[in-house]
Amino acid sequence: MKPPKDSCRGYISSRPFAGFWVPQHIQNIVIRNYCNNNNLHYLLSSAEYSIKDSYIVLKDLVSESKIIDGIVFYSLHQLPSEQSYRNELLKEILLNQCVIYFCVEDKVVKKEEDLKSINTILNVHRVMS
């Protein structure tokens, strides 16, 4: 059964990203507020495993993107660091006509061209680090 219109699943992390560790309950509060402020129906968040470079839960969300309308990340820095793998996952989400939201950076990805700005931000951050 398909969830209500504009249903979005949150995606949180249980490990540090971009040099910071944010408690899961804080990530959930930010995602819930983002959804409320943008009239999105918030579905509970999925928490990624704490294993370094694990994206098992994200891959499950890619599969779920066939039946939900959006995935709301706490931050774009939760994405895989390898650009080709990151693009592969995000393109599949977009192919399923699912919108990708990033709360902290207030970015929305609706089409493949939007990935350029996400990759630019992540590449600049990588170089600056």
At 127 the pLDDT is 81
Confidence bin at 96 (pLDDT 50/70/90): very high
pLDDT surpassing 80 at residue 105: yes
Residues 31-62 pLDDT 10s? 999 999 999 999 989 999 988 888 999 999 99
Residue type, 5: K
What would the two tokens of residue 126 be? 């990588």
Reference 77, options 123, 41, 127; nearest CA is 123
Q: Can you read off the two tokens belonging to residue 121?
A: 């931000």
Contact between residue 93 and residue 59 where contact means Cβ atoms under 8 Å apart: no
Q: What is d(CA 105, CA 72) in angstroms, rounded to the nearest whole number?
A: 12
pTM flag (> 0.85): yes
- Residue pLDDT, tens place only, 7-17: 999 999 988 77
| DSSP bridge partners of 11 | 46, 73
